[in-house]
Amino acid sequence: MKLRFITALALFTTAFVALAQNNVAEEVAWVIGDEPIFKSDIEEQYREALYERIPIEGNPYCVIPEQMALNKLFLDQARIDTVEVQQSTVSSEVEDRINLFIANFGSKEKVEEYYRMPLPRLREKLNEIISEQYSIQMVQNDLTKNVKATPAEVRKYYNSLSKDSLPYIPMQVETQIITINPLIPQQEIDEIKARLRDYAQQVNSGERELSTLAILYSQDQATSVYGGETGFQSRSTLLPEYATAAFNLNDTRRVSNIVETDDGFHIIQLIEKRGDRINTRHLLLRPKVSDKDLTDAVNRLDSVRKDIIEGKKTFEELALYISQDKDSRNNKGNMLNEKTHSSRFEMADLPAEVGKKIYTMQPGDISEPFVMINPKTRREQVAIVKLVKRIDGHKADLAEDYMIIKDMCEATAKEKIIHDWVEQKQKSVYVYIEEGWRDCDFKYDWLKKGNNSKK
């Protein structure tokens, strides 16, 4: 079980705003070991929870400081165990968070204004906070690493649950898909490349900035508003062809040759390399698909559908040899839910166009060809889908939802291990709670005799 945080953003903001305020005299609410918990930190987390509309179960002036105290217990154990957090993982999370802040606030300057500190200082504080979070998780994972429920234990756990405590499972479906990408005329590709070569020449000659061109012409909506800047990324988060070209760049004044990926055609400029991560800006152009090309693709899949219905070929066979969907092609056409790593989808998790088709189908039905937007490349493609199975909404059932019940069983076992560990840890750590902060229905007994007196 991972430790429940009020919210990552709330934790970040609490630390930054408290630091920026630079209070001379802080009111201490709790003390854990030698670590104080300040009233201002508790109040700031509460304000952030309200701002983020994050529900807090119980009195926030009880729930929040107890959670902060728990964090300090785990961090103390991390120091004892000399837990080492992989810095590359932390750096990756820091940059993801910085990119999210910039996207939310609209610019680097607004982020710096809100947090009252320059980005380098913001990165430093984020690094510290995220490192602590990973340390806490590593301690918990080590404590619960041997938890693995057997079928007998899962069955016993399920039988112990009341019907009211069983989760409701919304309607789910299992579906197969075959997609093909419309053919793009070579003339269209040549025109795209000619435009990109012209843009590259303008940048390399110093005539224009790539950031300006990206704002005006790039078809990557996620980055064009930021002048094509991607933020720091690792190789694994970039498309392979893009990553290869980007990491080979050394001159920040020039752009790459044209790079083709599943997303389209790019020219790329290096901004900064930092270890195994890189910040680039790019300009993306996608070839346009004509109505004729889409119609041809629809007709082709219509013939495929007829072959399946007439029994000439199976959906699975044609998915393997025809489909251009990389994720499902080698899985007999079965779509995989990236959120749950299973073949089951709630309707909201399906691509919109697929969900619309599936909603009115019966198991075994194969849709007529339809145009959809590839959720990864944002390019048009044509697809047919087959509804393999529909599971109506229901209370969790052991036979139908074994993995969900198993996860619940293991989560309960892990929670007990964590709970018992905290109670044992409390015996070896000094705890003091100031008057006015004690009248709470705490999850743990922090007020035990002999531990809540001033040093």
The arithmetic mean of pLDDT across residues 232-255, rounded, is: 92
| Per-residue confidence band for 453, with pLDDT thresholds at 50, 70 and 90 | low
Report d(CA 183, CA 291) in Å as an integer: 11
Report DSSP letters for 337-392, one per residue: BTTTTBSEEEGGGS-HHHHHHHHT--TT-BPPPEEEE-TTT--EEEEEEEEEEEE-
Residue 23's pLDDT is: 44
Helix (H) or strand (E) holding 116, with range, is none
Q: Strand order in 264-274's β-sheet?
A: 229-234, 277-285, 264-274, 259-261
Give per-residue pLDDT as tens, 34-47. Answer: 899 999 989 988 88
And the tokens for 115? 């947090």
Report whether 193 contacts 265 (CB < 8 A).
yes
pLDDT for 63 beyond 50 = yes
> Which range among 49-53, 103-107, 234-238, 439-443 shows the weakest confidence by mean pLDDT?
49-53
Would you give the end-to-end CA distance of the chain in angstroms? 34
Residue 15's pLDDT is: 43
pLDDT for 287 beyond 80 = yes
Report the mean per-residue pLDDT for the chain: 88
Give per-residue pLDDT as tens, 398-417. Answer: 988 898 899 999 999 999 99
Report d(CA 298, CA 288) in Å as an integer: 17
Report d(CA 181, CA 324) in Å as an integer: 7
The arithmetic mean of pLDDT across residues 420-427, rounded, is: 93
Report whether 329 contacts 174 (CB < 8 A).
no
Residue 163's pLDDT is: 87
Give residue limits of the domains in the chain: 8-148+411-433, 171-392
Closest listed residue to residue 183, CA positions, set 330, 372, 354, 382 = 382
Give 277's strand partners: 234, 274
Which residue type sits at 15? A
Residue 255's pLDDT is: 96
Same fold yes or no, 8-148+411-433 and 171-392? no
pLDDT for 6 beyond 50 = no
Neighbours of 194 (CB within 10 A): 11
User: Helix and strand tally (H, E) in the chain?
Assistant: 16, 13
In Å, what is the CA distance from 227 to each residue of 54, 106, 136? Answer: 33, 12, 37
pLDDT for 389 beyond 90 = yes
| Per-residue confidence band for 275, with pLDDT thresholds at 50, 70 and 90 | confident
Q: What is the DSSP secondary structure assignment for residue 335, as one 8-state letter?
A: -
Residue of higher predicted confidence among 386 and 262: 386
CATH number of the structural domain 8-148+411-433? 1.10.4030.10
pLDDT for 16 beyond 60 = no
Residue 38's pLDDT is: 94
Give per-residue pLDDT as tens, 248-268. Answer: 999 999 999 999 998 899 999
Q: Strand order in 35-38's β-sheet?
A: 35-38, 28-32, 431-433
Within 13 A of 451's CA, how many CA atoms are on the CB side? 17
And the tokens for 68? 């902060």
C-alpha radius of gyration, the chain, whole number? 27
Residue of higher predicted confidence among 448 and 401: 401
pLDDT for 8 beyond 90 = no
Report whether 33 contacts 430 (CB < 8 A).
yes
And the tokens for 277? 């991560």
Report whether 127 contacts 91 (CB < 8 A).
yes
| Per-residue confidence band for 232, with pLDDT thresholds at 50, 70 and 90 | confident
% of the chain residues with pLDDT over 70: 93
The arithmetic mean of pLDDT across residues 12-34, rounded, is: 63
User: In this structure, which topology does domain 171-392 adopt according to CATH?
Assistant: Chitinase A; domain 3 (3.10.50)
- Here the contacts of 336-342 (C-beta below 8 Å, separation 24 or greater) are 342/403
Which residues, 6+ apart, have CB-to-CB distance to 248 below 8 Å?
256
pLDDT for 70 beyond 70 = yes
pLDDT for 81 beyond 80 = yes
